[in-house]
Amino acid sequence: MKILLKSLDLSFRRAQVVIPFERLTYFWGKMGAGKSSIARLIDYCLGGDMESTTALQKEFVSAALRLNVGNAPVAIFRDADSSKVIVSWEKNDERFEVLIPARTSEGEVIPGTGVESLSDLLFHLAGAEPPKVRKSKRDEDTPLIRLSFRDLFWYCYLDQDEMDSDFFNLGRDANPFKRLKSLDAFRYILGFHQEQVASYESQLVELRERRQAILAGTEALKRMLEQSGLSSPIEIEQRIEVLKGELARAQEAAQAARSNKGSHGHATDELQRRGRYLANEIQALESAHSDVKNQIEATERLRNELQMLSVKFRRTSTAREVLAGVAFTSCPRCAQRLPPRELTCCAVCGQEDVDTELEPAKNKILDEDLHARVSEINDALARFKRQEAGIRNRLAEYRSEKAQVDHRLTVAMRQYDSAFLSQVLEYERQVASLQQRIANLENQKLLPSSLDEQYAEADSIAEEEASIRRKLKEARAKAEKDVTNLKRLEELFLDCLLRAKFPGIKDSDHVSIASPNFLPEVHSPEVGELAVTSFSNLGSGGKKCVFKACYALTIHRLAEEIGANIPTLLIIDSPMKNISERENEDVFTSFYEMVYELAATELKGTQLVIIDKEFKAPSELLDLIVLERHMMPESDEFPPLIPYYRGL
């Protein structure tokens, strides 16, 4: 990700300050001048949190970071204590501006782009897709989440406060969430997240979402059919046969009415007969529904009693086992001393002891019998509930039809037509209604078989998921086994340590960086594997700072070699922290000579921002332009970050 800082425009209560940047920018001077605050404000504009100094708390108003992302000029504006930033950029001679969350997304901000936060926008402007990684490293069915710009930026900004206390959140003492994200970022830089791995992961997520959608729809349909009492083709066919019988009788009655062979009664007569029939059916169904509900309640009570009996039985058995070995000398109730008893009698009650040798076997048989009874009752309860649902649905259907019959009867009584015409019309209505209901049921006959088809499709997708999962596992293993970049990282890191003249490191030493932690260790052939040099066991804080700075430079060297999509920006705040430039002049000089040599060669495409106590100028032979700024508190000649500020 090509990034080039141009300037940092700061608004303070009494001054406007513009800090320009070149490809190599160096801030140096006494403490308290605001050097580290420059790095923190850059990080703040790029979505970071800022722990403000006393001066910034009093005077800071807003910051605007001007930079190039890819080939696009971009400006990021952020007020003090704001969770959002205003980003403006130019593209194809057009100017765009958007208010966007600095960190936490709140939904898509730019329609059709997937941009939800500043991190997404930076990837979008750089013409890159945000890399995706699994949310959980243990669950294969976990969703994919985006690896953010902030995760990669841990390897681009070495904060002064954490220079000698934290190693890129990779150590065991690091925050677990940050550690996993840092490991994901490191794997991405190394190329362990290959395109094939990303493709398989995307396919797996798509298949899983399809399968879950199919299963959700199928389960909803299954519940609907069970609630309607039509969960099988046989039940639907039986219902159709009943309706066909009613249809045949209605058609015969309609034909008889048209042939003048009917009873010459009025349509209200048939409606009244149908109303009485429905009322009787509703009454019978209500009675049956009440009986089934009573059976369900009684069965549930029986199940609860058996379950309580099982609990009481276990408690009694446990109490007997606990108290069996107790030698009572006093009554547990009144505390009086117990009289002597026969050895075969209970010491408390004096009754003959029950033979407890067979108790465990009896207890097991009784427990299994209770479980079997509860299981049988649960099955019966499920049948009763299905029966109750069927009766309830049939009752609702009859009540609906009864309401329609009553309404039509009311209308018919108001519009008293001729007996012949009203009778024919009524029969025709019945025929049409029954034909529609039969047609609906005929369509529903396909639904149970459709369920089987949906389940089969879900199983097929599950098989495809399993196949993709196997391929993904193989692709990940293959990517992890390709340690070419990891070996190159080890070589480059040893080179950086040697060029920086890191104390105790020799040409004969070798570096190992092993997965899954990727923590570098330096081994000496003189002591073998008995002792290693690592960040955690470096006793000196100064050594830790140089060690960490060398590792960051190494990562950017490797990124340049393999074309890793990491921001082309490296901010190192106080690499000589806890180191005296005079007492350790060789380390100070060698480290900066290495930095300048890399800036002139391998890291030509990387922008470096360095903050330190003292300034080391590059050799004239390197032909490097360094924008250096000397800063001192309360100085007019070398003004601090807030030029007018005087105080702590």
pLDDT tens, position by position, 28-73: 999 999 999 999 999 999 999 988 888 999 999 999 999 999 989 9
* Paired residues of 528 in beta bridges: 524
Quickly tell me which residue has 């921001």 as its tokens.
567
**Residues 6 or more apart in contact with residue 56 via CB below 8 angstroms:** 37, 50
**Residues 6 or more apart in contact with residue 52 via CB below 8 angstroms:** 60
Structural domain spans, the chain: 3-192+484-631, 264-479
pLDDT the model gives residue 607:
97
Superfamily covering domain 3-192+484-631: P-loop containing nucleotide triphosphate hydrolases (3.40.50.300)
Q: By percentage, how much of the chain surpasses pLDDT 90?
A: 36
Average pLDDT, the chain: 84
Of 269-273, 475-479, 500-504, the range with the highest mean pLDDT is 500-504
Give how far Cα 37 sits from Cα of 84, 627, 629, Å: 20, 18, 14
HEC assignment per residue over 456-521: HHHHHHHHHHHHHHHHHHHHHHHHHHCCHHHHHHHHHHHHHHHHCCCCCCCCCCEEEECCCCCCEE
Q: Which residue has the higher pLDDT, 620 or 502?
A: 502
Are the C-beta atoms of residues 354 and 316 closer than 8 Å to each other? no
Question: How does 114-137 read in b/e, with b if 16+ C-beta sit within 10 Å?
Answer: ebbbbbbbbbbbbeeebbbbbeee
Q: Which of 519, 551, 596 is nearest to 155 (CA)?
A: 551
How far apart are the two ends of the chain, measured CA to CA in Å? Answer: 38
State yes or no: pLDDT of 450 exceeds 70. yes
User: Any idea what the Cα angle at residue 563 is, between residues 561 and 568, rounded to 5°?
Assistant: 95
CA distance 398 to 280: 10
Lowest-pLDDT range of 39-53, 388-402, 628-642: 388-402
Strands (E), 402-473: none
- What would the two tokens of residue 438 be? 């039969």
Q: Which residue has the higher pLDDT, 264 or 621?
A: 621
- Summarize pLDDT for 250-282 with one digit per residue, the tens: 777 777 766 654 445 556 777 788 888 888 888
- What would the two tokens of residue 370 be? 């209770």
CA distance 516 to 471: 21
* Paired residues of 607 in beta bridges: 569
Q: Find out whether the peptide bond into 516 is cis, omega within 30 degrees of 0.
A: yes
What's CA 617's distance to the chain center, in Å? 49
Q: What is the pTM of this model?
A: 0.61
* Paired residues of 28 in beta bridges: 612, 630
**482, exposed or middle or buried, with CB in 10 Å at 0-12, 13-18, 19+?**
middle
Question: How does 496-510 read in b/e, with b if 16+ C-beta sit within 10 Å?
Answer: bbbbbbbeebeeebe
User: Any idea what the Cα angle at residue 513 is, between residues 507 and 516, rounded to 5°?
Assistant: 175
Are the C-beta atoms of residues 62 and 77 closer than 8 Å to each other? yes
- What would the two tokens of residue 12 be? 């303070």
What's the mean pLDDT in 346-375?
A: 73
- What would the two tokens of residue 530 be? 């008995």
78: left (phi over 0), alpha (psi -120 to 50) or beta: beta
pLDDT the model gives residue 426:
74
State yes or no: pLDDT of 173 exceeds 50. yes
- Coil vs helix vs strand at 16: strand
What's CA 483's distance to the chain center, in Å? 30
CA distance 193 to 133: 8
